[in-house]
Amino acid sequence: MISERYNLPLMEAVIYDRTVLSECMNQTITVGDLEYPDPKSVVKYAEEVKSDAQKSAMEFDILADEVLIGTGLNK
């Protein structure tokens, strides 16, 4: 339906809704008595945490590769 309506191909890569995505965006740092937002990319978070974040990071890498190939920037 989407590809017919917008005349665009669907991508093969899938990003699943995971708690990890929320966790990497909800990072904070404390300075004195204050907490400041310190969001991280899912790839960087995966390097630091070593959990399900690695699977999410891999999914984003696959998506990025697909986008680059689709735009002709990577073959």
List pLDDT tens digits, range 41-66: 888 888 887 677 888 888 989 999 99
Does residue 17 register a pLDDT over 70? no
CB of 12 closer than 8 Å to CB of 65 = no
Q: Report CA-CA distances (Å) from 73 to 17, 28, 64.
A: 28, 35, 11
Q: Containing domain of residue 19, as a range?
A: 2-71
Domain count, the chain: 1
**Alpha helix segments (H runs only) across the chain:** 2-6, 19-25, 42-49, 53-71
Binned at pLDDT 50, 70 and 90, residue 29 comes out as very high
The pair of structure tokens assigned to 2 is 């989407």
- From residue 32, give the alpha-carbon distance in Å to each of 16, 27, 29, 36, 56: 36, 16, 10, 10, 33
Q: Which residue has the higher pLDDT, 74 or 62?
A: 62
